[in-house]
Structure 1
Amino acid sequence: MRRAIAVHQRGSWSGPAADTVVLDQAHRHRRRFTFDTVSGGRVLLDLARPVRLRDGDALACDDGALILVRAADEPVMDLSAPDPAALLRIAWHLGNRHLPVQILPDGLRIRADHVIAEMVRGLGGTVTERSAPFDPEPGAYAGGHHHHHHDEEEEHEPPRPPRVLAGDHDRGA
């Protein structure tokens, strides 16, 4: 099995890719996991720390091959508003809920969520559901191209929210 051991950011590498991998947003934030390429090859992503893979990046394999990373289409909602103030208000509410958000030239993109769609409409925004790549902002503390994510384990599931213990609501937790 091939082993991908380094990441070359989009625009920083050249030449032909030996293969392509298409990953959704959740699987582009990993340190170690096994994936299948478009041609049916099997590859182990084996990095020292989690990296936020972007569409157009290349995975460098231990045999010298490069594998092109493509963002998979997934259910998303594109959000717009009648004016900049309304869009900022929507962005504030999304941030207050700690939702991953992709900034578009004329709006915002989030994962499809009917509850959030109703909130956005209630704030005067427009919601357009579609299937498209999702590439949210990494966040202020993500450290550039690296993703600040606690997924050091070899899991294929996104991290679970923290448990709330009985009585925590009384202490402001």
Structure 2
Amino acid sequence: MFRVISRSDHHHGEIDDAIVLPYEMRQRGRFRVSSKTGLDVGVFLPRGDVLKNGDCLFTECGKVFRVEAQEEEVVTAEAKDWLTFAKACYHMGNRHVPMEIGERWLRFQPDHVLQEMVELFGLECQQHQAMFNPESGAYHGGGHSHGHSHDEHHHSHGEHSH
């Protein structure tokens, strides 16, 4: 088994093989999968990072695997104008569901309640097979470390009047 121990969103060298993964699998830090050429690959990455289409995975022995998003069942909802689109995105965002956003379209995993809601705003929905690459969110890491700590910190915030 080839053990993946790190990832990057870019790589300028040669790619040895690829693994094709649905969104649900790309959210996991540890899993085992077969590559496109049938190699046994074990992924051992920090939990919390979501693999994206095109990411490169590096093994202990130097092999490089490219991540390919698998087509899966999704709902794509299209708006005729930007105001309608903005309202739909606002309400979808309040539900904290994974969502991919394009120009006047949004994509989410099939859910009849969400589909009915965006249709009430006037968006046209289509359920179909497509790659699903949702936004990572404002509070989710972008696949790299910023070198900050969540430990206690001690410094003055100035005088506060109460």
Instruction: Report the TM-score range of the alignment, normalised by the length of the smaller protein.
Output: 0.7 to 0.9
Corresponding position of 1:168: none
Using the size of structure 2 for normalisation, the TM-score is: 0.83
Aligned residues of 2:4 and 2:43 also touching (Cα < 8 A): yes
Corresponding position of 1:88: 86
Corresponding position of 1:72: 70
Q: Which runs of 4+ in 1 moved over 4 A?
A: none
What does the per-residue CA deviation read over 1:25-76, in whole Å, with 9 as the maximum and x for residues that have no partner? 1111121111111111111111244321111111001110000100000111
The 3-state SS of whatever aligns with 1:85 is helix
**Structure 2 portions without partners, runs of 5+:** 145-162
Cα RMSD (Å): 1.4
The 3-state SS of whatever aligns with 1:52 is coil
The structure with more radius of gyration: 2
What does the per-residue CA deviation read over 1:121-155, in whole Å, with 9 as the maximum and x for residues that have no partner? 11111112221100101111112226xxxxxxxxx
Please list, as runs of the form range in 1=range in 2, the aligned pairs for 1:21-170 lying within 5 A after superposition: 21-145=19-143
1:94 Cα deviation from its structure 2 partner: 0.9
Matched, 1:8 2:8: yes
Count how many residue pairs are aligned between Structure 1 and Structure 2. 144
Identity of aligned residues (%): 36
Using the size of structure 1 for normalisation, the TM-score is: 0.78
Higher strand share: 1
Q: Letter of the aligned partner of 2:102 in structure 1? A: L
